[in-house]
Amino acid sequence: MPTSPPESPKGALRPRLELIPPYVYSIGAEAIELCRRAGQELDFWQQQALTHILGVRPDGKWACFEYAELVGRQNGKGGILEGRILAGFFLLGEALIIFSAHEYKTALRAFRRLKRLIRNLGEQVGDNENLVDVDGILIKISNTNGEEGFERLDTGQEIKFIARSKASGRGFTGDLNIIDETFAYTDEQHEALLPTMSARSMEVPGPQIIYTSSPPLSSYSGEILFRVRKRALEGRSGRLGYRDWGAEGDLDNLEGIDLSDRELWTATNPAYGIRISEDFVEDELESMSPRGFARERLGIWPAPPATEGGPLDYQRWSTPAPAGCVDVTSQAGEDVAFAIDVTPKRDWASIGLYSPRADGLGHVELIDRRPGTDWVVQRLVELVARWNPVAIALDVKGPAGSLLLDLKKVGITVPEDPSEPKRGQLAIPTSSEVAAACGHLVDAVTQGTLRHIDQSQLNTAVAGAKPRPLGDAYAWARKTADSDISPLVTVTLARWAFLARIDVITADEGPPNIW
């Protein structure tokens, strides 16, 4: 006689962290019913989230100006967002709703899901598949690449789906901003998007911003998300709602966490046993790296940045050797590399040096820093004549890239054959090489293999440096730094250029002639 398979355990109904501002009533029930009409049956945890998001204070304004739902992929956070968008579009009269994602394909997928729901709510008008009648309200659908969205023809209300950039969203006056994939959301993008809501801030219930995401990729990316979590845990914001389904711990210390613990799986995945099967999670555990599984499926965060200033250990940087990196007697060895950097406003420029010492330790030094840029090329000509450097690093994607033509005029050029560079020629880093250069400098400071002569301008740059995401790594952030970081950029790139070129240069030169 056949028997039914044992019922799979179900995901938790409430997250590990739930910090919600008080509200006197919520429009959540109406939004949940609207989803049901559209064929979207929300799970209990999704209903709870939507109820919190749409909670209202006694003065009629949203209890949550900001709301964050941190949950692993494929659990169903999209259902929460769809319910909120439908409520804003059909129930609340919100003039503009902006859904933004890190990648265009994510925004497009969200657009297509919402299109299905809106079509479920109404009927197509004649042969026009891009016009839907919902209870007498005509909805125009825009499928144009990069301009996907919806418009209510009776009120002019709009929903826009965009992939984020520094300027995306600027100029809009949004009632609701949804920031999906917040782990990749940056300060620059926040500064472009958030002020768009200010025009609605005096209205009732006012604007709202929603963050949905899995944890940041590393300690030095996801700066907005780290700050949101910190504010929530410290209780510093009375209008921030925060729910985090992730397990405790950090990605750099997984030794004490049993990644195969089924109770941990159910606690961190509310859709476990509903949309996510136990077999699939087992497959993920088997095929993914421990760090990847811990982040993507268990919602474990990386450790927060060690210091407010960034990844460089300033205490070690500023401590005398051998405990730290300061050695006022340090000098460059025979072989050196230089690098140039210019501030974003072009009001200052710097030239830095890297050289290995006789004892094998690395020496970095700020060679020159002056106002403007008109002095840089001639000064570099003098340095090349004196030092015959292994290489000169120039990040052409940064502000210093404009000096490339002037350098070419004085004979400082890129190698014709990249495999056969000559001394005194330019070394142009790729984005990944810039990120690697930053990481390598941090490692050298941490490992105690770097020395500097305690220059105040270089120290100030190190103290004020902050990281910016660059792929899965980071580089020095110019715009959010607390000081001019060009001295730090130059020694970072000079070190990279030296290490990238020295073996090729010395191999071409051959052994010294001892006769």
What does DSSP say about strands 149-152 and 55-56: parallel, antiparallel, or unpaired? unpaired
Q: Which residues of the chain are in CATH 3.40.50.300 domains?
A: 17-244
Query: pLDDT at position 514, please?
Result: 42
Closest CA to 297 of 309, 305, 289: 289
Q: Are strands 208-213 and 176-180 parallel, antiparallel or unpaired?
A: parallel
Structure tokens at 251: 């990605």
pLDDT of residue 166: 55
Residue 123 host element (H or E): strand 123-125
Cα gap 501→433, rounded to integer Å:
13
CATH 3.30.420.240 domain locations along the chain: 314-509
- pLDDT at position 267, please? 95
Using CA atoms, how far apart are residues 485 and 340, in angstroms rounded to an integer?
Answer: 12
What CATH number labels 314-509? 3.30.420.240
Q: What is the enclosing helix (H) or strand (E) of 115?
A: helix 104-121
17-244 is classed CATH 3.40.50.2000: no
The SS3 call for residue 190 is helix
Is the backbone of residue 483 left (phi > 0), alpha (psi -120 to 50) or beta? beta
Per-residue tens of pLDDT for the chain, all 515 residues: 444 555 668 999 999 999 999 999 999 999 999 999 999 999 999 999 999 999 999 999 999 999 999 999 999 999 999 999 999 999 999 999 999 999 999 999 999 999 999 999 999 999 999 999 999 999 999 999 889 999 999 999 999 999 887 555 555 568 999 999 999 888 777 877 777 777 777 788 999 999 999 999 877 678 889 889 989 988 878 899 999 999 988 887 888 899 999 999 999 999 999 999 999 999 999 999 999 999 999 999 987 765 444 678 888 898 899 989 999 999 999 999 999 999 988 889 999 999 999 999 999 999 999 999 999 999 999 999 999 999 999 999 889 999 999 999 999 999 988 889 999 999 999 988 998 999 899 999 989 999 999 998 898 888 878 777 776 677 787 765 656 889 999 999 999 999 999 988 887 665 544 44
Q: Are 176 and 207 in contact (CB under 8 A)?
A: yes
Q: Tokens representing 509?
A: 């030169």
